[in-house]
Amino acid sequence: MDISMDPAELQVIAPCLGKRFSGINASMIAVMPELTRHIRIAAMGFHIPEGIPRIRFRQFWRHCRRGPWRIWHARRNIDMLAGLVLRHLLRFKLILVFTSAAQRRHSWITRFYYRHMDGLIATTSKAASFLYREAVVVRHGVDATVFFPPEDRAAAWAKRGLPGRQGIGVFGRIRPRKGTEEFVQAIIQVLPRRPEWTVVVVGQTTEEFRPFELRLRGMLKEAGLEHRVHFTGFLKDSAEIPEWYRSLRVVVCPSRVEGFGLSCLEAMASGCPVVATSTGAWPEVITEGQDGYVVPCRDVNALADAILRITEDPQRTSEMGQRAKEKISSHYRIEEEARGIFDVYRRLLDGYERKT
C-alpha cells in the first residue's frame, strides 16, 4: 500500500531497486515496521509487501525534491548509484547511507559508490573490516512476535501430515549458491541412520535452476529417499515461513556464500538448534555444541556428521533449541537493530540540519 502520511513529511527513503527478491529485501522488510516507531520512513521500488510503508516514484519526485534533508538508505549498488544521481545531478537534498553485509572484498564499482556515501553501516564486524572507511556495526535482529517456539512442537509437526516424528528443515531458494546440493548429499548419509526424521526443503526454484532441482530429486530417488524429503515449492503467504520453523526440530543453513543469513536467526528464535556453514554471520551467532554447529562450506561429510550429532539425543536437541532461543532474545532483537539504524539516521540528519 502507499504511505498514509504526507510524502513531504518523509525523513527516510529505503530504495529497493533490485528486480530480484533476495535476503537484502527480506532484511529491510523485517526491520522497517520497527523503524516506523522512531522515524517517518517508506520503501520505494520492487518486492515491497502489503503492510510496509511505501512511496511511489512519482510521489517521491513530486514531494521530495525540495524541502528538508532526507536519508536515502541504500543496500545495493543500484540503490547507491540512484542516490548519487538524485543528489548530485538532480539536486535532491539526500543524505546517503549504505548498509553492507558482504564478508569479502568489494568490487571496484562498489568501493567507488560507498566512498561517496555520508554514512556506512555493516551488519557484522567482519563485514565492517571489508569497508575501507569507518562503519557502524548494527547486527540484524529478529521480531519475537513473528518467530517464536510453538507450545507443542510434536503437535505442530503432526499437523503437517508428513512421515516421521520430527523434521529437519532448510530454507532458501534451491540453487548451488545456497548449498542445496551439499545438503542433499549429506542427508542421503543421514536419513538411513535416522528413521524417525523427515527433511523439508522450504523454498522455490526459479526456471533457471529447474534442471538443478530435478537432478537433486534424482539423487534422492536413486538413494530410495524421495518419500522422506518434502519440497514445499513457492509459498504464496510469507506467514507460512514462521509456521514451518515452529514445525521443525532442527534447521540446516548450508550456503556456500552468505552476506548475513537471517534464516539462522529465525530458526534459533523459533527454538531450533542450527547446523550452519562457516559463512555470513553464522560463526558469530552460533556457539559450537551449545546451540548449534558450524562446519566448513561445501564439506558434505562434516555437514552430515554435524546433523547426526545434533539429532542423536532428543533431550539434548531440545536443550540446544532452548539455548538458541534465549541467545536470540538476549542479543539479536529487532528492536536493537532498529535503534542502531535510527541512531545513525539521527546523527546524520542533525549534522546536515546544523549546516543549513
pLDDT band at 238 (very low <50, low <70, confident <90, very high): confident
Average pLDDT of the chain is 93
The enclosing domain of 11 has a CATH number of 3.40.50.2000
Query: Which residue type does 327 have?
Result: K
Q: Which of 100, 103, 104, 111 is nearest to 76 (CA)?
A: 100
- Cα 331 to its chain centre, rounded Å, is 16
Query: Do 318 and 338 belong to one domain?
Result: no
Specify whether 83 is located in the same domain as 188.
no
**Phi, psi (degrees; rounded to nearest 5) at 67:** 100, -155
Which structural domain range is residue 324 located in? 153-331
Q: Based on the domain organization, do 170 and 133 belong to the same domain?
A: no
Cell of 305: 556428521
Which tens digits make up the pLDDT trace of 245-279? 999 999 999 999 888 888 999 999 999 999 999 99
215 plus 321 within the same structural domain:
yes
Q: Are residues 114 and 172 in the same domain?
A: no
- pLDDT of 1: 42
Q: Is residue 223 part of a domain?
A: yes
- Assess whether 290 and 252 both reside in one domain: yes
Residues 127 and 240 in one domain: no
Assess if residue 241 is contained within a domain: yes
| Domain match, 99 and 158 both | no
Question: Residue 174 is inside which H or E element, if any?
Answer: none
Q: Is 176 helix (H, G, I), strand (E, B) or coil?
A: helix
Q: Is 147 within the bounds of a domain?
A: no
**The predicted structure's pLDDT at residue 167:** 97
Report how far residue 253's alpha carbon sits from residue 68's, in angstroms, rounded to the nearest whole number. 44
Note whether 98 and 179 are same-domain residues: no
304, 219: one domain? yes
**Could you give the number of structural domains in the chain?**
2
Same domain (yes/no): 312, 164: yes
- Residue 276 belongs to a domain: yes
Q: 8-22, 177-191, 321-335: which range is least confident on average?
A: 8-22
Angle CA 333–145–278, to nearest 5: 45
- For the chain, how far is it from start to end, CA to CA, in angstroms? 34
86, 74 contact by CB (below 8 A): no
Cell output for 182: 551439499
Phi-psi region of 148 (alpha: psi -120 to 50; beta: other; left: phi over 0): beta
- Does any domain span residue 302? yes
SS3 65: coil
Same domain, 43 and 67: yes
252 domain-assigned: yes
Tell me the residue type at 21: F
146 within a domain of the structure (yes/no): no
Burial of 42 (0-12, 13-18, 19+ CB in 10 A): buried
pLDDT in tens, 212-223: 999 999 999 999
Look at residue 52 and tell me if it is in a domain: yes
Give mean pLDDT, residues 215-233: 95
Quick check: 153 and 162 in contact, CB under 8 A? no
Please give the average per-residue pLDDT across 303-320, as a whole number. 97
Taking CA atoms, 273 is separated from 45, 82, 169, 190, in Å, by 35, 40, 11, 17
159-179 pLDDT, tens digit per residue, is 999 999 999 999 988 999 999
With 90 as the cut, is the pLDDT of residue 100 above it?
A: yes
355 or 178, which is more confident: 178
Reported pTM: 0.88
